[in-house]
A and B are shown apart, each in its own frame.
Chain A
Amino acid sequence: MEHIRMPKVENVKLLDRLSSRRAVVGTLYLTATHVIFVENGSETRKETWVLHSQISSIEKQAITATGCPLLIRCKNFQVIQLVIPQERDCHDVYISLIRLARPVKYEELYCFSFNPKLDKEEREQGWKLVDLNEEYSRMGVPNNYWQISDVNRDYGVCDSYPTEVYVPKSATAHIIVGSSKFRSRRRFPALSYYCKGNNASICRSSQPLSGFSARCLEDEQMLQAIRKANPGSDFIYVVDTRPKLNAMANRAAGKGYENEDNYSNIKFQFIGIENIHVMRNSLQKMLEVCELKSPSMSDFLWGLENSGWLKHIKAIMDAGIFIAKAVAEEGVSVLVHCSDGWDRTAQVCSVASLLLDPYYRTMKGFMVLIEKDWVSFGHKFNHRYGNLDGDPKEISPVIDQFIECVWQLMEQFPCAFEFNERFLIHIQHHIYSCQFGNFLCNSQKERRELKIKERTYSLWDHLWKNRADYLNPLYRSDHSQTQGTLHPQIAPCNFLYKFWSGMYNRFEKGLHPRQSVTDYLMAVKEETQQLEEELEVLQERLANLQKSQSGDNKVKSKQQDRSKQIGLYTSNNSLANTPQEYSNDLKSFPSRSPSQGDEEDSALILTQDNLKSSDPDLSANSDQESGVEDLSCRSPSGGGCLPSEDSGKDSDEAVFLAG
């Protein structure tokens, strides 16, 4: 609290990026964890809540006649423009936020104060939801070829690896330790995914310290061991996910890549994914395009192309497709690495796993996948997502790119995933929010030292409890699309990589489809379930009635029915966001048939932003556009290109011709 110079400022203006006419006046509060803007106005008092940990930059802009503008950009792609009347207040808010947005100790993060009112036992249960031991045994290891190694028991070999690592059975501790000494940050080859069907596997590591000529017998034996663990194949692929030039440059620093001459039976392959700095700049450029005030189609497409973002997404996807193909179709094991093996390697291994194994396309499986390839293998969440104040050059949207790859796949395979877009967006949100302990720190070792599991809550448990919100209505576990390996197309004209406005323009609801097919179908499915229940009750009643007409126990049965009936209807009544709420007549389900639609009541406008109450932080962003009437003002891309209410009467034609 000592960092808050100014807890409350009144008469602050919150601007709407798309339309200057839609600015609202309210009060700005700074708390220990959030920036809160409360709109004046008696009826709604809309609130906008922003967690300090979401703030990526704060910009004080030149003073205008109306006050001092403050621009806050968030890591979840929200952009907030405030105008504070007094320059001094603005400065105080600015200074406070600068400090609040850059905590220096883990203890300052929200997860240490966030309390979802769960008791100790519930918290522990929550952390047990995702269990990697269970996951490896689901994959089918340990078995004849793979064993769990305790060589990293006390993080003695590699401090960014987990304590429990799966390695080929023939890899002795001597080989592992020897190999680790020949790899950057001692990240030796370890199992990421094992394909039960054909024994092929995906292993991961960092780059070898080969320089121009160095070699290491143990490392060569290690790769040999990986090959032997797949008796069906006489070679393995070694995939270096860096551009060749980068990998070659590393040789000068005593690092580099595997020399095919030194390793027997490997096929070496470069797949050019750019490094974290290129990716950071690329995102930056793309966000600039998203922020353009009223871009023309050319501005937008040119900017999108120029940012290179989709090209990078495609590169990651192509690498995943290559590996999945090697494993599933050729039955060949693959060793993947980049430089340190914690960014591109994590992206590529997890995309490949997702393509290979339908389990990772379920809600639980996806959590397991992130836990396996990202959290446990030491992806540096703290550095990449800037949770604590640190080197800005370490920040890069690595997992964001993986999440986008998943979304692109969902667009191509609409029935293949158990979860929906909202699930991905909320995971992205919480990677930055620090509301849950899952993504704190840079490694398992650090998390254990911080006693994360005793002091914070797990996001997975939270998402799992609200899983109804995250279901893809088109998913059926018995559907052909959910089975087996996914085979996406490669050429852009066959697999159209699209700009993901649901993520990068997430808070600009005016840009999104106004009716969400997903929400609509979820509502229908929910209603269907109620109908099924009611059908059962009715059939029972009918049976009873038929019995009673031949017997004499009708009074009793009737009472029984009524109680059931009431129970059912009250539950209907309490369900929000189902078509039921459009009808007052709870006795009968409103039919969806178009003929029944009468006037305004029938307008079932389901917007994507039905922010679920399940998410305290998200729901607080009450930027809920409701009626269509209200939406219209936001719809034109630039406020200037359509006449506004007042401009129509007296202003000249220039207003309409702009843009």
Chain B
Amino acid sequence: MEFAELIKTPRADNVVLHRPFHPAVEGTLCLTGHHLIFSSRRQDNAEELWLLHSDIDSIEKRFVGSLGTIVIKCKDLRIIQLDIPGMEECLNIASSIEALSTLDSVTLMYPFFYRPMFEVLEDGWSSFLLEQEFELLSSVTNEWRLSCVNKEFSVCPSYPSVVIVPKCIDDEALRKVALFRHGGRFPVLSYYHKKNGMAMMRSSQPLTGTNGRRCKEDEKLINATLRSGRRGFVIDTRPLNVAQQARAKGGGFEQEVHYPQWRRIHKYIERFNILQESFIKLVEACNDQSHNMDRWLSKLEASNWLTHIKELLTAACLAAQCIDREGASVLVHGSEGTDSTLQVTSLAQIILDPRCRTIRGFEALIVREWLQAGHPFQQRCAQSAYSNSKQKWEAPVFLLFLECVWQIHRQFPCSFEFNEQFLIMLFEHAYASQFGTFLGNNENERAKLKLPQKTMSLWSWVNRPEELIRFQNPLYEANSLVIWPSVAPQSLQLWEGVFLRWNRPSRFLEEAEEERMNIIKYNKELQAKVNALRRQLAEMETDEEAQEE
């Protein structure tokens, strides 16, 4: 397909761009296959705005006489308005944007066309391989092995080709377990707690059904993570009644009789359309320009967004506490094991593992626990809060995770190597990107699409020194301890950086950030100077002493 067919009016002049907190600008609007480009060439105020069509969540058009207005609402929650003279031009442009922002074929997406203007120092597609992760693990324990049972994605279509499982369980047993678990997602290692050798596993629900089917291999697999005489915890992210109802549809939960060494805890985490609705309501509240305080608080409350944050953080703290405090192994699952399960396992690692609080470690966590673990990004992040499509598989699962990380970050501002901008950048790229990283729903699809060959990895770009510098937290001080966040309502706040990002004047906060950087930078410069001088002096003094002798 030629994009040109979709673009009837590729260019319009005398367009006026309106954005909150910016004066209106007049300029030229151009449409290309993947971008909407607005450029103003006024001498005092030359600027360009590039917007990916895939970043557009919804558009509205209205007319006053022959002046058309298009309101564009983006997936990153920004809202801009374009005044376009000429009814026909405006209609053409609106319909082109509509068509271009809702292309249904992945291979037409921008990542397949994007040619980077930078030199690739390290190919992000091979930066975070599970084999490397396993090597690290092998240096502290030999109880685990790398299995290629899923090499052809035939045992579990949403798992990667290699997984880490207990050493004593062979591939044959894994195949049997896969048949006993929803979507074939048999329990695999998610995290190994070096401090006490406890493991966190994740899976999907067991297919016990109404007649209480059991699977000896499944029991053996998860028991293999237990020390003799110790109990483990199953954290089920559904309420008990939902788990019970799941049996009617062939699903279920681990029953005490067959898993006597395991205690099951139901920790409800909201999912799918409820989350999406909550997201939509919150964004609506944040765009309400009324001056009424009560209305704002009640809308914030009614959105339930912070309730989801609190529940999710509590579940993650619980998992971390079981591992670190109770010295117990943990298995986490919900139904499919691709959403709430991953939220819990990845947040628990942020709490427990200092490595996950570094930039590279966090990237590795996202690759391991989200991309390779088969979180269906393509489905979940197809639309954001402004879309009218209301597909039932859209949900801000990943955004919730990022916000929880932000909440912990806010409570431990010196314990993370990355800053808030890093989290916001990941949110943006999960929804619309020039990189192929978040395309597809699992490794299987990514392999079929040949993403590593045909598109650029986000990590290839982010990990270049000149980009990294923007994402570093100047206050970072490696903290090797477990960090326990407070989950009390008083301790949780709205993530203004995302939700009020386009609605608040950011200058003063940016200045504060700059000031923080300067304080640290100046200190480091002085340190370097003092150290250099010390060395110089020491050398001169020894020279002198040598001469004296």
Q: Which residues of A contact B (CB under 8 A)?
A: 290, 294-302, 304-305, 308, 310-311, 314, 318, 412-416, 473-474, 476, 479-481, 489-499, 501, 505, 510-515, 517, 520-521, 524-525, 527-528, 531-532, 534-535, 538-539, 541-542, 545-546, 548-549, 554, 588-589, 591-592, 594, 597, 599-600, 602-606, 628-629, 631-632, 634-637, 641-643, 645, 648, 653, 656-657
Given the interface pairs A479-B515, A493-B503, A637-B486, the reply to whether A535 lies near B533 with Cβ below 8 Å is yes
Q: Are A636 and B314 in contact (CB under 8 A)?
A: yes
Q: Which residues of B contact A512 (CB under 8 A)?
A: 486, 491
Of the candidate stretches B182-190, B320-328, B435-443, B444-452, the one touching chain A is: B320-328
CA of A496 to CA of B293 in the docked complex: distance in angstroms?
9
Q: Are B515 and A311 in contact (CB under 8 A)?
A: no
Tell yes or no: B12 within 8 A of A by CB: no
Tell yes or no: B50 within 8 A of A by CB: no
Q: Which residues of A contact B530 (CB under 8 A)?
A: 531, 534-535, 538, 589
Interface centre among A297, A314, A480 (most CB of B within 10 A): A297
Q: Which residues of B contact A294 (CB under 8 A)?
A: 488
Given the interface pairs A311-B293, A535-B529, the reply to whether A603 lies near B489 with Cβ below 8 Å is no
Q: Are A298 and B301 in contact (CB under 8 A)?
A: yes
Considering only CB atoms, which chain B residue lies closest to A294 in the complex? B488
Given the interface pairs A297-B489, A512-B491, the reply to whether A492 lies near B292 with Cβ below 8 Å is yes
CA of A641 to CA of B412 in the docked complex: distance in angstroms?
22
A sample of 27 inter-chain contacts (CB < 8 A) reads: A290-B490, A294-B488, A301-B489, A304-B297, A311-B293, A413-B508, A414-B509, A476-B515, A493-B503, A496-B504, A514-B412, A515-B413, A521-B516, A524-B520, A531-B530, A535-B529, A545-B540, A594-B478, A597-B480, A600-B480, A602-B477, A603-B479, A634-B486, A637-B486, A642-B318, A643-B325, A657-B240
Given the interface pairs A415-B511, A637-B489, the reply to whether A491 lies near B291 with Cβ below 8 Å is yes
Given the interface pairs A549-B540, A597-B477, the reply to whether A511 lies near B533 with Cβ below 8 Å is no
Closest Cβ–Cβ distance, residue A261 to chain B (whole Å): 30
Given the interface pairs A301-B300, A642-B321, the reply to whether A498 lies near B493 with Cβ below 8 Å is yes
Which residues of chain B from 392 to 410 have any CB-CB distance to chain A below 8 Å in the complex?
A: 410
The 3 closest A-B pairs by CB, nearest first: A597-B478, A300-B489, A414-B512
Q: Which residues of A contact B480 (CB under 8 A)?
A: 597, 599-600, 602-603
Interface centre among A493, A497, A498, A535 (most CB of B within 10 A): A493
Given the interface pairs A301-B306, A415-B508, A657-B266, the reply to whether A520 lies near B488 with Cβ below 8 Å is no
Tell yes or no: B487 within 8 A of A by CB: yes
Q: Which residues of B contact A302 (CB under 8 A)?
A: 298, 301
CA of A535 to CA of B415 in the docked complex: distance in angstroms?
30
Q: Are B536 and A517 in contact (CB under 8 A)?
A: no
CA of A513 to CA of B484 in the docked complex: distance in angstroms?
11
Chain B: how many interface residues by the 8 Å CB criterion? 91
For B272-315 the 0/1 string (1 means CB < 8 A from A) is: 00000000000001111111111111101100101101100010
Closest Cβ–Cβ distance, residue B439 to chain A (whole Å): 33
Tell yes or no: B462 within 8 A of A by CB: no
Q: Which residues of A contact B296 (CB under 8 A)?
A: 492-493
Closest Cβ–Cβ distance, residue A216 to chain B (whole Å): 36
Q: Are A505 and B490 in contact (CB under 8 A)?
A: yes
CA of A298 to CA of B309 in the docked complex: distance in angstroms?
12
CA of A481 to CA of B417 in the docked complex: distance in angstroms?
28
Q: Are A539 and B414 in contact (CB under 8 A)?
A: no
Q: Which residues of A contact B117 (CB under 8 A)?
A: none
Tell yes or no: B30 within 8 A of A by CB: no
Q: Are B301 and A496 in contact (CB under 8 A)?
A: no
CA of A510 to CA of B503 in the docked complex: distance in angstroms?
32
Considering only CB atoms, which chain B residue lies closest to A315 in the complex? B293
For B202-242 the 0/1 string (1 means CB < 8 A from A) is: 00000000000000000000000000000000000000100
Closest Cβ–Cβ distance, residue B120 to chain A (whole Å): 26
Q: Are A643 and B508 in contact (CB under 8 A)?
A: no
Tell yes or no: B519 within 8 A of A by CB: yes
Q: Are B478 and A539 in contact (CB under 8 A)?
A: no
Given the interface pairs A412-B508, A637-B487, the reply to whether A594 lies near B477 with Cβ below 8 Å is yes
Q: Are B413 and A528 in contact (CB under 8 A)?
A: no
Q: Are A538 and B534 in contact (CB under 8 A)?
A: yes
Considering only CB atoms, which chain B residue lies closest to A297 in the complex? B307
Closest Cβ–Cβ distance, residue A160 to chain B (whole Å): 32
Closest Cβ–Cβ distance, residue A295 to chain B (whole Å): 6
Which residues of chain B from 505 to 549 have any CB-CB distance to chain A below 8 Å in the complex?
A: 505, 508-509, 511-512, 515-516, 519-520, 522-524, 526-527, 529-531, 533-534, 536-537, 540-541, 544
Q: Which residues of B contact A545 (CB under 8 A)?
A: 537, 540-541, 544
Tell yes or no: B263 within 8 A of A by CB: yes
Considering only CB atoms, which chain B residue lies closest to A655 in the complex? B265
Considering only CB atoms, which chain B residue lies closest to A414 in the complex? B512
Q: Which residues of B contact A (CB under 8 A)?
A: 240, 263-267, 285-298, 300-301, 304, 306-307, 309-310, 314, 317-318, 321-322, 325-326, 328, 358, 410-415, 417, 475-494, 496, 500, 503-505, 508-509, 511-512, 515-516, 519-520, 522-524, 526-527, 529-531, 533-534, 536-537, 540-541, 544
Closest Cβ–Cβ distance, residue B224 to chain A (whole Å): 21
Q: Are A492 and B301 in contact (CB under 8 A)?
A: no
A493, A532, A554, A643: the one contacting B288 at CB < 8 Å is A493
Known: A604-B479, A605-B479. 14 other contacts (CB 8 A): A414-B509, A474-B512, A496-B504, A501-B490, A510-B488, A521-B516, A528-B526, A542-B533, A588-B531, A592-B477, A602-B479, A628-B483, A635-B484, A637-B487
Q: Are B524 and A301 in contact (CB under 8 A)?
A: no
CA of A636 to CA of B492 in the docked complex: distance in angstroms?
12
Considering only CB atoms, which chain A residue lies closest to B293 in the complex? A311
Q: Are B293 and A492 in contact (CB under 8 A)?
A: yes
Q: Which residues of A contact B485 (CB under 8 A)?
A: 635
Q: Which residues of B contact A632 (CB under 8 A)?
A: 321, 325, 482, 484
Closest Cβ–Cβ distance, residue B31 to chain A (whole Å): 32
Q: Are B286 and A493 in contact (CB under 8 A)?
A: yes
Q: Are B511 and A481 in contact (CB under 8 A)?
A: yes
Given the interface pairs A517-B475, A545-B537, A603-B481, the reply to whether A297 lies near B492 with Cβ below 8 Å is yes
Q: Which residues of A contact B505 (CB under 8 A)?
A: 489, 494
Q: Which residues of B contact A605 (CB under 8 A)?
A: 479, 481
CA of A41 to CA of B515 in the docked complex: distance in angstroms?
45
A413, A527, A548, A656: the one contacting B265 at CB < 8 Å is A656
Considering only CB atoms, which chain A residue lies closest to B528 in the complex? A591
CA of A479 to CA of B534 in the docked complex: distance in angstroms?
34
Given the interface pairs A301-B489, A635-B484, the reply to whether A524 lies near B519 with Cβ below 8 Å is yes
Q: Are B318 and A656 in contact (CB under 8 A)?
A: yes
Q: Which residues of A contact B240 (CB under 8 A)?
A: 657
Closest Cβ–Cβ distance, residue A277 to chain B (whole Å): 19
Considering only CB atoms, which chain A residue lies closest to B487 in the complex? A637
Closest Cβ–Cβ distance, residue B267 to chain A (whole Å): 7
Q: Are B493 and A636 in contact (CB under 8 A)?
A: no
Closest Cβ–Cβ distance, residue A233 to chain B (whole Å): 27
Q: Are A542 and B516 in contact (CB under 8 A)?
A: no
Q: Are B414 and A604 in contact (CB under 8 A)?
A: yes
Considering only CB atoms, which chain A residue lies closest to B472 in the complex? A594
Closest Cβ–Cβ distance, residue A512 to chain B (whole Å): 7
Q: Which residues of A contact B490 (CB under 8 A)?
A: 290, 300, 499, 501, 505, 511
Q: Which residues of A contact B511 (CB under 8 A)?
A: 414-415, 479-481
A588, A597, A631, A657: the one contacting B484 at CB < 8 Å is A631
CA of A480 to CA of B511 in the docked complex: distance in angstroms?
9
Closest Cβ–Cβ distance, residue A568 to chain B (whole Å): 11
Interface centre among B266, B481, B486, B537 (most CB of A within 10 A): B486
Q: Which residues of A contact B483 (CB under 8 A)?
A: 514, 628
CA of A498 to CA of B301 in the docked complex: distance in angstroms?
14
Considering only CB atoms, which chain A residue lies closest to B266 in the complex? A657
Q: Are B527 and A515 in contact (CB under 8 A)?
A: no
CA of A300 to CA of B294 in the docked complex: distance in angstroms?
14
CA of A161 to CA of B486 in the docked complex: distance in angstroms?
48
Considering only CB atoms, which chain B residue lies closest to A516 in the complex? B413
Closest Cβ–Cβ distance, residue A642 to chain B (whole Å): 5
